[in-house]
Each structure stands twice: as structure tokens, then as C-alpha cells.
Amino acid sequence: MSETKKGSYIKTHKIRLYTDYLEYFRLTNQVFNELIMIYYKIILKNKELIKYPPRKCRTEIEKMTLIDKKTGEIPDEYFEPDAPSRIRRAAIMQAIGQAQAYFTKLEKAQAEETKKTKIPGVADKFNIPTTLYKELYKYSNNRKIEIKLYNGKDWKWYESKLSKWDISENANLLSPRIEIHGNLVMLCIPEKCIIENITTIQERMKDENIRICGIAFSGKNNIATCVVVDRRGKFVKSLFVQGGNEYKYLTSQAMRKIKRNNHKAKNSEKIKGYNKKYWQKISRYRNHFSHVISKKIVDFCKENQVQIIALSSITNDEDYLKYAKNFNPITLRERIINYTKQKAFNNNILTTYVSMKDKSNKCYKCGELMERNIKKRTSKKIKEDKAMCKNRTSSRLLF
């Protein structure tokens, strides 16, 4: 096998802050977004800035907005911000990202040149979480954090308690950001993690001891079926991930309550607001089961030293379209795949898609196409069906 290549990915830790200074957090975020808007307009006015790398672009913007200390010259874009330099630099970097996104959309719209193409509009306001650079925050014993906040007059240090701290001591932490959700204040801390092996699938397939896990999804209690094979296709181990009946029961219970309330009140606005908690329950069920199932799949792959996960590509699968109704477990497929891909990549496992077109009409021994007599897929006809092959009197199907 070829030499391993190292890579990295960003993992985010979310920690709740218990604070008595919620209003100061909001004022700080307001000032931060006002600064982003100022720098955003400066970049749009001076389009040549976007051609520079981000850090050089930031330096040029600072020169355009600050008084020259040596000559005392006042630039055209000068303004007097009361915010600390670290807040201003964080706002500049956010403005650069927003401007780059705008120019990319604009170029794409101009390249298409059709009547239906909409020219992207310039943003008139932002609601971006405050990014904290160094010298704006200090951790103390992993239980408290001090943050420099704007109280309406000055920038001062305020202390808040951390709800938890499950980050290792050797973690490479990046600049955190503050997210405000109603009365909740969340501290989002990015961590840069190292991946020991980021070789491609083609490079990994050269290894004679490689193991591949194929995953198929269904709309029954066994949501996912995992089969591990070696490079030659020899069976190693399998796993049936259950939980479909439980998911279907919980979502159906919530839907019954929603329908009952709607029937009683005839879709009144009061009942619609009351049903919001049941829709939130259904959303939580989807996230919970998707995370649990994806974790079981990745843990199973780690135990069996799997390096590649093969997923079936079923874009035109009639069964999938049929099952994707009434909160059937098959509707979790896309979400489970997304979570599985993320967890697998973090554990040095690559994922790929395999086309399943005409696979059900091939003999699993010789691969020759066969004629199938099943027009309607009923359980009785599936049991009676025996895939006939010219080379073998009868053969079972792999799929």
C-alpha cells in the first residue's frame, strides 16, 4: 500500500454559558455586525481588494480605515470605531467571506445570461455570531470564562460559567464564537483534529488486506444492513441495525395527536401553535435515530478494520419513493448517510456510492443477465421467484 497521507478536519464543541450579562452579549453582537456591514461596503466599493489573500486583504482594509501613525494622514474610508482591534479584525474577516460569496454568485449569474437568472442582491444587514480572537477571552480552570463585552458605554471583562468541559488538554482549539438563541448563550469552540490517513479509494484498494462494508437500507425494523467483505468479495461479518419499529411508533404517536387536535379545533391558529411541540418531537426523533444508527455503523466498521464504506445509489428506486411516506424508517436514509460519512471520515474511513442499476437481474455467480418474471413485487411472488441462470439451474441473488 502507498504511504499514508495526513490531513485535518474541524470539530466544533458547543458549551452553554450561564451568565447574568445577556444584554451585553446582544450589544456586542450588534456592534460586531455593524462593523461587518461597514467593511462589507468598503470591499464592494473597492473590488480589487478581493483579489488579495484574506490576511493581506485585511491589512489593506486596516490601512484604508485607520490613521497612519507615522504621517498622521487620514484615509478616505476612515471612521472611528470604539471596538478593540481584535473585534475589528474578526469583523473584517467575516466581511471578506461575505463579499467573496456575493462576487461568486454575481459572476455565476452573469455567466448564465438568461431571463430567469436572478442577480444577487447586496446584503443590507447581517446576523453573524461574534467571533472571539485572542485577548478577548480567557479560560479559568475549564469552569469559567472571561469575555470582553460591550455594555453600551465601554468594553469590559465579564465572567460566565461553563456548563461542561469535555475537551482534552492537548486539543488544538481555534477562535470560538458566541451564538445567542433567545435567552440561551452558546460558546462554540472549533477544534482542529488530525487524520492519520487520507489516501484515496484507488490507493487503498491496492492493499490486499483491505475490507469493505456494504450498507443497504430498508423501511422495516432493520433500518440498515451492513456486510463486511474482503478484497475478493469473501464474506467476513454482518450486522443488522434495528430500531425502525420504535421510530415509526414514536412518530405515529405524535402525528395522531397533531391530527386529533386539528380535527377538534378545525385548524385554528391556537392549536397550530400548540402542535409545534409535537413537530419538534418528530424532528428530535429523526436526529436521535440518525445519530444512533450512524454511530452503530461506524463502530461496527472500526471493530472489523473497514477502510471503505460502499453505499447504494438508489435515485430511481421505486421502492424508496414508495416507502418515503408516513414517516417510514427509509426516510431516514439520507440523514443517516450524511452522519455516517462525517463520523467515518473522522475515523479514517472513506465512503463511496455504488450504482445498483440492473443488479437484481444478474446472477451473483457469473454476473450474466437473467429474465425476471416478477412485475408486481408482492411478498408471495418474491418467495416463489427463483432467478434462473443459463450456467446454473438456480441461483440466489446477491441483491
pLDDT in tens, 229-251: 888 888 888 999 998 889 989 99
- Cell numbers standing for residue 265: 379545533
The pLDDT tens digits of the residues spanning 110-139 come to: 887 665 667 788 888 899 999 999 889 998
Q: Is residue 1 part of a domain?
A: no
User: By 3-state DSSP, what share of the chain in percent is helix, strand and coil, each rounded to 5?
Assistant: 40, 25, 35
52 pLDDT higher than 80: yes
* Residue where a domain terminates, one of 175, 193, 211: 193
Q: Which of 150-164, 315-329, 341-355 has the highest mean pLDDT?
A: 150-164
Q: What does the pLDDT read at residue 294?
A: 92
Q: Is residue 48 part of a domain?
A: yes
Q: What does the pLDDT read at residue 396?
A: 41
- In the three-class reduction of DSSP (H, G, I as helix; E, B as strand; rest coil), residue 292 is classed as helix
Task: Tell me: do 180 and 162 sit in the same domain.
Answer: yes
Q: What does the pLDDT read at residue 220?
A: 83
Task: Tell me: do 327 and 214 sit in the same domain.
Answer: yes
What is the arithmetic mean of pLDDT over 12-30?
93
* Residue where a domain terminates, one of 163, 193, 223: 193
**Range with lowest mean pLDDT among 19-28, 221-230, 355-364:** 355-364
What is the arithmetic mean of pLDDT over 43-63?
89
| CB-CB neighbours of 219 under 10 Å | 21
Q: What does the pLDDT read at residue 233?
A: 80
Task: Tell me: do 172 and 261 sit in the same domain.
Answer: no
pLDDT level of residue 356 (50, 70, 90 thresholds): low
Q: What does the pLDDT read at residue 273?
A: 63
Domains contained in the chain, number: 3
Do 330 and 219 meet the contact criterion of CB atoms below 8 Å apart? yes
Task: Tell me: do 351 and 378 sit in the same domain.
Answer: no
Do 143 and 166 meet the contact criterion of CB atoms below 8 Å apart? no
Task: Tell me: do 215 and 280 sit in the same domain.
Answer: yes
Q: What does the pLDDT read at residue 398?
A: 36
Segments forming the whole domain that contains residue 391: 359-399
Q: What does the pLDDT read at residue 350?
A: 85
Q: What does the pLDDT read at residue 36?
A: 93
The per-residue DSSP string of 297-314 comes to HHHHHHHTT--EEEEEE-
Q: What does the pLDDT read at residue 394?
A: 42
Residue 129: which of 163, 194, 178, 164 has the closest Cα? 178
pLDDT level of residue 186 (50, 70, 90 thresholds): very high
Task: Tell me: do 141 and 248 sit in the same domain.
Answer: no
Do 225 and 218 meet the contact criterion of CB atoms below 8 Å apart? yes
- 78-92 burial code (b ≥16 CB/10 A, e <16): eeeeebeebbbbbbb
Q: Name the residue with cell 411508533.
A: 249
Q: What does the pLDDT read at residue 129?
A: 93
Q: What does the pLDDT read at residue 349?
A: 86
Task: Tell me: do 234 and 278 sit in the same domain.
Answer: yes
Q: Is residue 256 part of a domain?
A: yes
Task: Tell me: do 78 and 140 sit in the same domain.
Answer: yes
267 pLDDT higher than 70: no
Task: Tell me: do 206 and 352 sit in the same domain.
Answer: yes
pLDDT level of residue 168 (50, 70, 90 thresholds): confident
* Residue where a domain terminates, one of 176, 193, 210: 193
Q: What does the pLDDT read at residue 399?
A: 34
What is the arithmetic mean of pLDDT over 181-187?
91
The reported pTM is 0.66
Task: Tell me: do 189 and 98 sit in the same domain.
Answer: yes
Q: Is residue 329 part of a domain?
A: yes
Q: Is residue 2 part of a domain?
A: no
Find the CATH number of the domain harbouring 337.
3.30.420
Q: What does the pLDDT read at residue 195?
A: 75
Task: Tell me: do 33 and 167 sit in the same domain.
Answer: yes
d(CA 115, CA 109): 10
Task: Tell me: do 369 and 231 sit in the same domain.
Answer: no
- In the three-class reduction of DSSP (H, G, I as helix; E, B as strand; rest coil), residue 173 is classed as strand
What is the arithmetic mean of pLDDT over 334-358?
82
Mean pLDDT value across the chain: 81
